[in-house]
Amino acid sequence: MKKALHFGAGNIGRGFIGKILYDGGYQTIFADVNEELITALQKEKTYYVEIVGESRQRVRVDGVSGILSHHEEALIEQGLTVNLITTAVGPNILPYIAPAIAKIIGHRAKNNQEEFLTVIACENMIRATDALRDEIFSHLTDIEINYAKEWVAFANSAVDRIVPPMERTANQSTLDVMVEEFFEWVVDKTQLKEDLGISDIVYTDNLEAFIERKLFTLNTSHAVTAYAGALLGLETIAQSINDGRIRAFVQQVMAETGEILIRRHQFDRASHEAYQQKIMKRFANVYLKDSCQRVGRDVARKMGANDRFFKPIGYAKALAISYSSLLIGVSFALSFSEEERPSVWASVKEPSDGLEQWFMTIHGDEKILSKDDYIQLRTLLDHPEASLKGCVTPCIK
């Protein structure tokens, strides 16, 4: 049986990546800093995944174990025996796990281990594995880097599955997790050195198209739905997307990002519109009970130059495509109060150039928006909810 070492034993790690690895015939060792989760994995060696769509099913994942991330010797010992290393820790945590993976590769090099190892970062970040590889290489010697270039494959990926917090009953394990029925894990096959043997992965030689389709359609619209819902006092994503005003506005955002994707990647228009409708139905899944607060958190990261709002805005500018709805979405995000903390707009409204200074901090360049964009954005921020007036479509059934 093949073995995988997965960094990140949270809901996404267990419910999404861990489930696919299990179905692909892998024995998975989870590494995490959370002692409660690791202790439970070591003791129970199994957990259940509740999959919710039009129906609900409960499936069991067996043969799992856990290691605390700071237990270096145990990590290296397991790392010498695995075929695959995956992550689901969040982009900002990748630099912190890179030294551990570097030590695993260093020991494999020292042992002259002529067996392929594949590393895949499963993060909401474009070319996350490339970023992780660069961090890992910064901890390796030249000899170890040469070994890695021959025996270690670093494959970029795109991942898509909604994994909300789960309300557990008294008889459910802390390891049990709920996921939506839909999932997509796409891997750049041109970067692989061997067949992973996992049929649920989509292997492609055009990963950028998949990454941008997911980022601009799922992630952008998910965030917009959360911010608009919070603006109207709604609690969940399902409630938000079933509000006619929000639904119509999200469709406007999808129309803009869809035009960008069709122009950039020559997507078939009808097929892409069907994908957009599938996303809308996913948001309306009442079983998920995904909160607007959870989806909307970390506004500053979501405003990043390569993230779900400003990456498509940059392309829209270059392609001369309207981005007025995306800019309204930005105004919703900047109006979002995260866990009762002041919104970004409340914090930067004064001084007069506070907004430009904030974007300079986030992007390193306040000129990511034009002077006219800033004028329009300030107008929108004064009354953000007004942008939803007149937007009405039927609820999703």
Q: Is 8 flagged in the annotation as binding?
A: yes
Dist. CA 347–CA 251, nearest whole Å: 30
Compute the distance between CA of residue 272 and CA of residue 251 in angstroms, rounded to an integer. 13
Contact, 27 vs 1, CB < 8 A?
yes
Q: How many helices (H) and strands (E) are present in the chain, helices listed first?
A: 19, 12
10 is in an annotated binding site: yes
Residue 119 bridge partners (DSSP): 85, 154
Residue 154 annotated as lining a ligand binding site: no
Q: What distance in Å separates the CA atoms of residue 385 and residue 332, rounded to the nearest whole number?
A: 8
φ, ψ of residue 232 to 5 degrees: the values are -95, 10
Strands 26-32 and 2-7: parallel
Provide φ and ψ at 299, rounded to 5°: -60, -45
Find out whether 248 is annotated in a ligand binding site. Answer: no
DSSP state of 9: -
The annotation status of 4 as a binding-site residue, yes or no, is yes
15 labelled binding-site residue: yes
274 carries a ligand binding annotation: no
Whether the Cβ atoms of residue 86 and residue 7 lie closer than 8 Å to each other: yes
Residue 261 annotated in ligand binding: no
Q: Which helix (H) or strand (E) holds 204?
A: strand 201-204
What DSSP character marks residue 15? I
Q: Which residues are annotated as a binding site?
A: 4-15
Known binding residues for NAD(+): 4-15
